[in-house]
Amino acid sequence: MKYLLDTNACVGLLRGSSPRVAEQLRRTKPTEVVLCSIVVAELLFGALLSARKTENLRAVRTFTSRFASLPFDDQAALHYARVRVELEAAGRLIGPNDLIIASTALASGLTLVTHNVSEFGRVAGLHVEDWEK
């Protein structure tokens, strides 16, 4: 099984505030964990907004270099369109970046690791694990 780390899992790891996520990551083969380009973008955005830009950019780059990063491709775009239609019809739309992250996980058959289970749980067929619990 492969895992896609959501932004909140990454932030917890970077801040050292998610010992359970860190432990689960240690028990998981490095080749079974990936990021996606929107997660990397969100991490870089957060670093650039921070008071310690240089230090945080360095930390983000060091952290993200440990993992493969999946692009948002045409297969993910197809999942995005389907999921967005379903969620809009149900009146339960999720955030646009989260929709891209979920679609990337679906397109690659990955389990999404997130503490935001309430939002991602709305996406039919998406496997979600909360390593914070």
Per-residue pLDDT tens digits for 1-50:
799 999 999 999 999 999 999 999 999 999 999 999 999 999 999 999 99
Q: How confident is the model at residue 109 (pLDDT cuts 50, 70, 90)?
A: very high
The arithmetic mean of pLDDT across residues 80-99, rounded, is 98
Query: Total domain count for the chain?
Result: 1
pLDDT for 72 beyond 90: yes
**What would the mean pLDDT of 77-81 be, rounded to a whole number?**
98
Say if residues 8 and 119 touch (Cβ distance below 8 Å).
no
The pLDDT confidence band at residue 117, using thresholds 50, 70 and 90, is very high
| pTM for the full predicted model | 0.96
CA distance 130 to 92: 21
Residue 98's Cβ-side half-sphere holds a number of Cα atoms within 13 Å equal to 19
Q: What is the CATH number of the domain that holds 124?
A: 3.40.50.1010
What's the pLDDT at 122?
A: 97
* CB 66, CB 43: distance < 8 Å: no
Residues 6+ apart with CB under 8 A from 63: 10, 13, 14, 43
What is the percentage of the chain residues whose pLDDT exceeds 70? Answer: 99
Q: Containing domain of residue 106, as a range?
A: 3-129
pLDDT computed for residue 18 by the predictor: 97
Do residues 60 and 14 make contact, with C-beta atoms less than 8 angstroms apart?
A: yes
Is residue 44 within 8 A of residue 57, CB to CB? The reply is yes
pLDDT of 55 > 90? The answer is yes
Contacts of residue 111, Cβ cutoff 8 Å, sequence gap at least 6 = 1, 2, 3, 4, 105, 127, 128, 129
Confidence grade of residue 101 (pLDDT, cut at 50, 70, 90): very high
> Which H or E element spans position 118?
helix 117-120
